[in-house]
Structure 1
Amino acid sequence: MSNGTQSVGECSSSTSLSSQRDIEDDQMIAAVLSEEYAKLDGAVGRRLSNLEPVPHIPRINSYIPNFNDASFDHQRLLQRLNVYGLYEVKVSGDGNCQFRALSDQLYKSPEYHKHVRKEIVRQLKDYRSLYEGYVPMKYKRYYKKMAKSGEWGDHVTLQAAADKFAAKICLLTSFRETCFIEITPQYQEPKRELWLSFWSEVHYNSLYEIQDAPIPQRPRKKHWLF
């Protein structure tokens, strides 16, 4: 019995160390990629410089459009993308799309969405007073729910992302009356711009000028740094 207990303990310790190394690897990759691609910011912003942005109001998801409304909204978004010569990098619609789209803008790959979600949830936890007033439920329950993979991001998590990454987040939307929404950091100047398309309350994608659209690549391996 004692040998079995020792084996389980050693296995648990090994798993914990492996998980910690994975987290550290993700953080290193994220930092390197963020520096590598920061110089690409701004191209989409120049393309849409004639649009007047609508101020952002953080809110949680409360309305999901029916099929007909969603279809009309999607057509409206596609028309706007065509008018402005923009290209969507489509990310998986698995409930993580906001975080995948942000990951693609930050690191040129949607595969770091787990890291992005962790950073946003940490921002929500560490700076509760900035966001609690926008959340009509127990705040601890909200950020614990948002920490789960597959939980849809909302306009509160977008504000937390803008604050965490010192980024101006710009949404080209499918809203009838609101084409362009801008989310800016609350207490610092933005150091970069992140551009997303927003099929309202349904899906986010990452946004580029057509000539700057990235060539699809396989996800980078973690040993890529070494």
Structure 2
Amino acid sequence: MAHSQKEVASSSNSIAPLSRMRDTEDDRMIALLLSEEYAKMDGAIGRRLTSLPSIPHVPRINNYFPSTPDVSMDHERLLQRLHAYGLLEKKVSGDGNCQFRAISDQLFKTPEHHKYIRKHAVKQLKEFQSLYEGYVPMKYKRYCKKMKKSGEWGDHLTLQAASDKFGAKICLLTSFRDTCFVEIVPQQQAPQREIWLSFWSEVHYNSVYDARVVPDPQKQKKKHWLF
């Protein structure tokens, strides 16, 4: 019996390094794909909406959720704005990972790398704590541990961390009554590209495209190491 337990322990110990190696390889290959997508950026939506006034972005965690009537009104307002500017949402799953899925779709043309986005946003939060901890009204380690979990809703602070980590200006077309446009810019570098998201206030994020050129998921080139 003791011998059997040792064999199980040995097997378990050998799996962990293999899993870490696979994660590292996936990260390397996704980073390569990210660099390829950066090279293709054209800023088409940005050129169309440059006249929109934006409000300063204030990083904050989720602490307000609208009532049911407000949610319905906000969604209708967002849909009207998307239509007015000739934009279309590429919908992502509402499983608590929608912010990270929408960012993944903008960077990689697929929402499936949301775990990679979350992982590196949280890594940014941990490595540069002094940039973010002033916005967190709880123990910072607790906040990072919570945000690391799949299904935990992203907030305006994780948007800032993602902007900083990936060197991207994140543009939100929102359902806010007072403004429809919010920009999140990297704090310590010039943005390398733009990410366009719709934000149904405190409810859901989607990826946004020009209605004439929404990418067809069936035509996306699949990488065997990503699926």
- TM normalised by structure 2 equals 0.93
1:169 equivalent in alignment to 2:170: yes
Single out whichever of 125-134 and 213-222 deviates more from structure 2.
Answer: 213-222
Unpaired runs of at least 5, structure 2? none
Question: Does the CA contact (< 8 Å) of 1:102 and 1:206 recur in 2?
Answer: yes
Cα offset, 1:14, TM superposition: 3.5
Single out whichever of 18-27 and 111-120 deviates more from structure 2.
Answer: 18-27
Single out whichever of 20-29 and 148-157 deviates more from structure 2.
Answer: 20-29
Question: Does the CA contact (< 8 Å) of 1:37 and 1:107 recur in 2?
Answer: yes
Cα offset, 1:219, TM superposition: 9.5
Count of aligned residue pairs for this structure pair: 225
Cα offset, 1:4, TM superposition: 0.7
1:65 equivalent in alignment to 2:61: no
- What is the match of residue 202 of structure 1? 203
Q: Describe the shift of the 1:6–1:103 C-alpha distance in structure 2 as closer, same or farther (beyond 3 A).
A: same
- What is the match of residue 26 of structure 1? 26
Cα offset, 1:222, TM superposition: 4.1
Which consecutive aligned stretches of 4+ in structure 1 deviate over 3 angstroms post-superposition? 217-225
Cα offset, 1:186, TM superposition: 0.8
Code of the residue aligned with 1:148 in structure 2: it is K
Q: Describe the shift of the 1:224–1:140 C-alpha distance in structure 2 as closer, same or farther (beyond 3 A).
A: closer
**Residues 82-109 of structure 1: CA deviation (Å, up to 9, x unaligned):** 0101111100000000000011111111
RMSD: 1.8
- What is the match of residue 223 of structure 1? 225
Question: Does the CA contact (< 8 Å) of 2:74 and 2:175 recur in 1?
Answer: yes
**Residues 82-139 of structure 1: CA deviation (Å, up to 9, x unaligned):** 0101111100000000000011111111100001101000000010000000011111
- What is the match of residue 83 of structure 1? 84
Percent identical residues: 61
- TM normalised by structure 1 equals 0.94
Code of the residue aligned with 1:3 in structure 2: it is H
